[in-house]
Amino acid sequence: MERKPAGGAIRNTERSKEKFLSAVGKILKTKGYAGLKINDIAKVAGVDKKMIYTYFGGLDGLIDEYIRTQDFWSNVHADMASEPIDDGGKAFTKEVFLSQFDYLSKNKEVQKVLLWRLSEERKSLRKLTDEQEENGEVLFSQITDPHFGKHAEKFRAVSAVLVAGMYYLNMYAEHNGSIFSGIDLKTDDGRKAIKDAVSFLIDKTYDGL
C-alpha cells in the first residue's frame, strides 16, 4: 500500500487544527464562552472530537491555543516597530496602543474572551493574563523604563489606564450602546476622536515625565 507523504499528513493536521480553532471563534461569537463544549466544537469544525485530545490534549489545551493566537498583547514584540526605537518608545507606544484599539473593535471573539476573563476564574484565562504581563514586562524594561528612569512606574500607570480604557470603550460600544461622553464610538469621527486623545495623552506623558 502506498504511504501518504509526510508533508500531506502535516498539512492535513494543520488544516484540522485550524478548523477547531476557527470553530472556537465562531462559537464564542454566537453563543459566548458557555457554548464551548467539545461536542459542539467538533460539530462546527466538522472534525472528529477525538482529535481535540490528539492535537491539543483536551478542551483546555484547545482554548489555551485559541486565546494565545488571538490575544493582541501576547503577540506584540519590539521588533514589530515600523521605525527604529530612538525616541524612548513614544512612536512605538502610539503604534501598538492604537493598533490594539482597532484590533479589539474588529475582533468580537476577543471581546468575548475579555468579558469571560472578568466573570470567571479559569486556568487558561489566568495563563493569558500571566503571558500578557510577562510580555509587557519585556517591553517596559527594554524600551520605556530606561527612558523614564525614576518616573518609569508613573508611565506604566498611565499605560494601564489607557489600555484598560480602550478595552472598556470597545466593549461598551459593542454591548451597551455606542454613545460615551457624547461621542459615538461606532462612527469613524468618534473613533478618531478617541485615538487622537490617546495620542495626545501619550505625547503629554512623554513631555511631562
pLDDT at 151 over 90: yes
pLDDT in tens, 27-58: 988 888 788 899 999 999 999 999 999 999 99
pLDDT at 18 over 90: yes
pLDDT at 5 over 90: no
Does one domain contain both 184 and 169? yes
Closest CA to 73 of 114, 132, 140, 129: 132
Residue 34 lies in a domain: yes
Q: What's the grid cell of residue 189?
A: 469621527
Domain boundary among 36, 51, 66: 66
Does one domain contain both 57 and 153? no
CB of 13 within 8 A of CB of 55? yes
Does one domain contain both 106 and 171? yes
Residue 184: strand pairing partners: 179
Distances (CA, A) of 121 to 29, 41, 44, 60, 126: 20, 21, 26, 13, 7
Does one domain contain both 15 and 109? no
Closest CA to 127 of 53, 63, 35: 63
Residue with more model confidence, 1 or 115 = 115
In this prediction the pTM is: 0.76
Q: 17 lies in which domain range?
A: 6-66
What number is the average pLDDT over the span 169-188?
88
Does one domain contain both 60 and 85? no
pLDDT in tens, 65-102: 888 887 787 777 777 666 778 899 999 999 999 999 99
Sign, CA torsion 69/133/165/168:
positive
Q: What is the CA radius of gyration of the chain?
A: 20
Q: What's the grid cell of residue 41?
A: 466544537
pLDDT in tens, 110-137: 888 788 777 777 777 787 788 888 888 9
